[in-house]
Structure 1
Amino acid sequence: MPHDPLADVSTAAMQERGGPRRSPRVVPALTVVSHPVPRRVGTRLLMDAVAAGRSVALSRNGPDFVAPGGSLGLPLADPFISRKPLEFSPAGDGGVRLVVPEDGTHVAVAGVPLHGAHDFGAPALAEGVALELAGRVVVLLHAVELDGEGAADTLGMVGESVGLRRLRRHIERVADLDVSVLIRGETGTGKELVAQAIHQRSTRREGRFLSVNLGAIPKELAASELFGAHKGAYSGATKDREGFFRAAHGGTLFLDEVGEAPPEVQVMLLRVLETGELYPVGASSPVTVDVRLIAATDAHLEEQIRDGRFKAPLLHRLAGYDLRVPPLRERREDIGRLFFHFAREELAALGEAGRLDTEDPHAEPWLPVSLASLLVRAAWPGNIRQLRNLARQLVIGSRGQARLQLDSQLDEALGAPPDAVAPVAAAAVKAPVPDAREPGVARRKPSQVTEAELLAALRASAWDLKAAADALGIPRPSVYDLIDKSPNLRTAGDLGADEITRSFEACGGDLDAMVRALEVSKRALGRRLKELGLVAKGT
């Protein structure tokens, strides 16, 4: 099975990986992970202005979020996101500064509220930061390479991350060349989908595509399964066996987990790759086959070569063109689209395909903010396979519910955020504020909350407005509105300088005691003290 273009293709691959090339333009972006209108998931805002040194103001009314490769878009348009904009501007070393205005949209990272200005450096943008807006919308702040944007053919792969676009370009370059391909990637990344995409765009697309997992074949049977066997060649061989290579004649054979090939099979693979001939087990004459071989592995074959477990010449033949499938943790901007893609498939199987067709911006998000944020921050050791299984578990486990529910078992399965992500939240806030939402509290309309309930919630949460909002099941901005409408409640801005000074002296400068006495927001009262030149204890 000789293939003349091998040297040229290998050279092209090396140039793509390491040769001189034009550096792509990188800009910060916001990609929608969860939204009350599900079709908005995956749309994004490219913040070219920030890359150019200017600021971008984000509110419910603008700017527009556009599907990758599209031209028309829509603003976030969630009625609970404030008209008072968040501001994104350049920070040092390629980072982004986010300014959260007072009394504007509530913003959190990993459930921890953000207040004022926060810088997210280039490493945080490379990893991605999930920003939770108004408890209803999640957008991922991340970096985007504009090189190769807007390719028309997705090759059947969901997503527009940098790594996925690069993979598509490699597939398009090698698909119509009759060379062997080695696909590397962690378990569950979708290596077989890549192999199918190569086959469908090759000159062999009319031929068969056979997929074989070498790790699932007993080692003593691997040779006969792949290359065939004559009747009587071994105990149990009661008839001639064709073998996968001959069955795939004129088409493509995909060998997954090729690193599991026994030594004798490695020798036979090398021969068929070099000559196009194979010897069925028990045969004395060769059989010619015309098969394109695509192999895949999650193993480090170079390490296996050093340990004497894999043959270097075979690796060189398998890797006529070498592809890498990125793990899901390198595709965080794709997670929202992937999750909804799998969820729609599961809902369709349950006869509930229309569940995600709502266009009502006032609707409660089907994918809750806390869950969406957790999906983006998870480590995903099982990659896309794990995400698909989780989507199935959530959809089935939440049948009959208005929203998806994450039980403790699934929460544990997702695990803690990766080390690279966790510091983002820690750096964004000085002291995490615990979530005061009572388990099972349903979302409510602010008009349903009485003044007595509001006051009780504020007192129970020590006048932490976010915690009170969660306990009441309403957005945080609505707490401000209810306070404004309540004649018996006030804000720190309503307090006179004399009253604050008297309380400061009476409480001995204890800010917590002042909050209890004056019954106003601790954060807002702290700012008033600073304005008056008073330094409270513990600040």
Structure 2
Amino acid sequence: MKPIWIVDDDASIRWVLEKALARENLETRSFSNARDALAAFATDTPQVLVSDIRMPGESGLDLLAVVKEQHPGLPVIIITAFSDLDSAVASFQGGAFEYLAKPFDIDKAVALIRRALEESLREASVETLPADTPEILGQAPAMQEVFRAIGRLSQSNVTVLITGESGTGKELVAHALHKHSPRAAQPFIALNTAAIPKDLLESELFGHERGAFTGAQATRRGRFEQAENGTLFLDEIGDMPFDLQTRLLRVLSDGHFYRVGGHQPIKANVRVITATHQNLEQRVREGQFREDLFHRLNVIRLRLPSLRERREDIPLLARHFLLQSARQLGGETKRMSEAAMQFLVGLDLPGNVRQLENLCNWITVMAPGQTVEVKDLPLDLTQGAGFVSPYAADAAGASVLPAPVPLSAAGALAVPAPSSGMSSNLPAAFAAGADGWISLLELQAANMLAAGQVEVMDVLGKQFESALIKTALKHTHGRKNDAAVRLGIGRNTITRKIAELGIDGAKDE
């Protein structure tokens, strides 16, 4: 790991930060002015840069501008006096990661540098991803199974049926199968059978002879001919018209086909890969899909997991798409705050990876700051359908914290399994342990403060106390004296709190 650079003309500030970071086993390198720091960039780069805003010669904002132009992924923390807050806020437009206002608490400063350090390491891992496309990203066990299957299938000519929800990356997998196959130097041709009108689909697949139908003024090669010696990918095969299924079956069976209006058989040397989001077995039972074609296509089935089944991959994918969006759109790479990333991990995202990519494009264009908070996300995600907020609304419309979650024996938050007929909509943040629910508490406080609510401490404090006491009473079967002992408070205190909070079900014995 590279050192953290500290740029400040005040020797005492440099000394304090050096000593504090050394206690954290973090290497540092210090400079008394921006000019020396810029000169050092010629031979080295830091993991994180911490710079004062006002220094003799070039200012911290000047340094920021040069650094972000040459090293856009490097987190830069600006140190500022309270009188320079306007400049500090303006620094965000230049791509600053965060700012520290003097006088600052050293522990908070170290925590902020740690956060920037983690972000820098994450960005570095994304930056080192192969540049060629298409890419399939995933560290979840379900995706590792997919990668292993691609490796086993790539050297074979066997027909593959890829299943999975819309947006899970079925075409990317088909690309990968082709790219790593002996046919890689030959064409990869893709056709979405659901996107072509029924009366044109046959011509798209098999081509047509001149004069075969009105408007056929020249002979046209179809997708099978275009993919000769290569791979033909037929997406949404479940939507193929029934009569065309017969023609496709014939090609797969004997390797020959006829152009529309043609009389000469054409030999097809093509590997066929198909994909669908539909249940083909059900389509067969309903008489909408030929059973013999289904068995011909279903030689090897490769199922892609939904994003809900691989939530641990969402941060990796989000960072990749944000970086990709910034490159394509020519802007700065946005970063998700920890709370926003946990919120994102808790989303169902029915559109899967495609929806996540579109969301990252939206964030790159629309999110106001360099660091994206939950409030910066689209309202249809934070308030609309498709996501059950971790905060329910009470009868008065005010946000309230979710029902208490029990602690496991190890002291971490344990997500209860849903009971029969119920579905758990707890966000993934709960499964992350104490940090998860604390982040959600911070988010709730931020939402209430942003909405102009008053007495936030009193409101949240009462909800917190009520949740603890109710949970303790459940564990002691309503015995408040035992509950007081478990909670480490006095009997008079719990009696008073029960009365103040209006908690029912408590008993003295």
Which residue in the other structure is 1:515 paired with?
none
Q: Deviations over 1:382-405 (max 9, x none)?
A: 000100111111121114554351
Name the counterpart of 1:408: 379
TM-score when scaled to structure 2?
A: 0.55
> Does structure 2 conserve the Cα–Cα contact (< 8 Å) formed by 1:277 and 1:288?
yes
Aligned: 1:529 with 2:501? no
Would you say how many aligned residue pairs link Structure 1 and Structure 2?
318
* Aligned match of 1:462: 458
Deviations 1:117-149 (CA, angstroms, capped at 9, x unpaired): xxxxxxxxxxxxxxxxx9998xxxxxxxxxxxx
Mark the CA change 1:238 to 1:370 in structure 2 (over 3 Å): closer, same or farther.
same
Whole-angstrom distance in 2 between the partners of 1:222 and 1:460: 61
Unaligned runs of 5+ in 2: 5-22, 26-47, 49-110, 116-129, 390-421, 465-483, 499-505
1: CA distance, partners of 2:181 / 2:494? 74
Structure 1 letter corresponding to 2:285: R
Of 284, 309, 327, 1:305 maps to: 284
The separation in 2 between residues aligned to 1:61 and 1:535, in whole angstroms, is 45
Shift of 1:465: 6.5
From 281, 298, 313, give the equivalent of 1:319.
298
Please give the secondary structure, in 2, of the residue aligned with 1:230. coil
Contact 2:345–2:428, Cα closer than 8 Å, also in 1: no
- Aligned pairs for 1:332-371 within 5 A: 332-353=311-332, 355=333, 366-371=335-340
Classify 1:414/1:339 alpha carbon distance in 2 versus 1 (closer, same or farther; 3 Å): farther
Using a 3 Å threshold, how does the CA distance of structure 1 residues 176 and 155 change in structure 2: closer, same or farther? Answer: farther
- In 1, are the aligned partners of 2:345 and 2:429 still within 8 Å (CA)? no
2:446 counterpart of 1:437: yes
CA–CA distance in structure 2, aligned partners of residues 275 and 166 of structure 1: 33
**Amino acid across the alignment from 2:277:** D
Structure 1: any 5+ residue segments left out of the alignment?
1-36, 38-59, 63-76, 78-133, 138-151, 357-365, 443-456, 469-522
Percent identical pairs in the alignment equals: 38
Q: Distance in 2 between matches of 1:378 and 1:460?
A: 26
Query: Could you say which residue in structure 2 is the equivalent of 1:293?
Result: 272
Contact kept? 2:194, 2:239, Cα under 8 Å: yes
How many Å separate the matches in 1 of 2:336 and 2:489? 38
The one of 347, 352, 355 equivalent to 1:386 is: 355
Change in 2 beyond 3 A, CA 1:460/1:279? closer
The corresponding residue for 2:424 is 420
Provide the residue aligned with 1:505 in structure 2: none
Deviations 1:453-496 (A, max 9, x none): xxxx9x6522857999xxxxxxxxxxxxxxxxxxxxxxxxxxxx
Question: What is the DSSP-based 3-state SS (H/G/I as helix, E as strand, rest coil) of the residue aligned with 1:436?
Answer: helix
Q: Which amino acid aligns with 2:387?
A: G
Tell me how far 1:233 sits from its aligned partner.
1.4
Question: Judging changes above 3 Å, is the alpha-carbon distance between structure 1 residues 460 and 320 closer, same or farther for their aligned structure 2 residues?
Answer: closer
Contact 1:328 1:380 in 2 (8 A): yes
Read off the aligned partner of 1:416 and give its amino acid letter.
Answer: V
Name the CA distance, whole Å, in 1 between partners of 2:445 and 2:150. Answer: 49
Q: Deviations over 1:196-219 (max 9, x none)?
A: 000001110000001100001100
Q: 1:311 to 1:402 in 2, by over 3 A?
A: closer
Assess if the C-alpha contact under 8 Å between 1:154 and 1:168 holds in 2.
no
* TM-score, structure 1 normalization: 0.52
2:337 and 2:386 map into 1 onto residues whose CA distance is: 16
Using the alignment, how far apart are the partners of 1:440 and 1:388 within structure 2?
A: 31
Q: What is the CA–CA distance in structure 1 between the aligned matches of 2:493 and 2:381, rounded to whole Å?
A: 50
Amino acid at match of 1:383: N
Secondary structure of 1:211's counterpart equals strand
Query: Is the contact between residue 134 and residue 172 of structure 2 (CA under 8 Å) also seen in structure 1?
Result: no
| CA shift for structure 1 position 352 | 3.6
What is the CA deviation profile of residues 211-256 of structure 1, one whole-angstrom value per residue up to 9, with x for unaligned ones? 1000011001111110111111122212111100001101000000
1:376 aligns with: 345
- The answer for the alignment partner of 1:180 in structure 2 is 159
- Deviation of 1:306 (Å): 0.7
Per-residue CA deviations over 1:287-340 (Å, capped at 9, x if unaligned) read 101100000000111111111110111111112211001100001000000011
* 1:155 Cα offset (Å): 8.6
Q: In the aligned structure 1, how far is the partner of 2:252 from the partner of 2:163?
A: 19
Q: Check the 8 A contact 2:167/2:355 in 1, yes or no.
A: yes
Paired residue for 1:246? 225
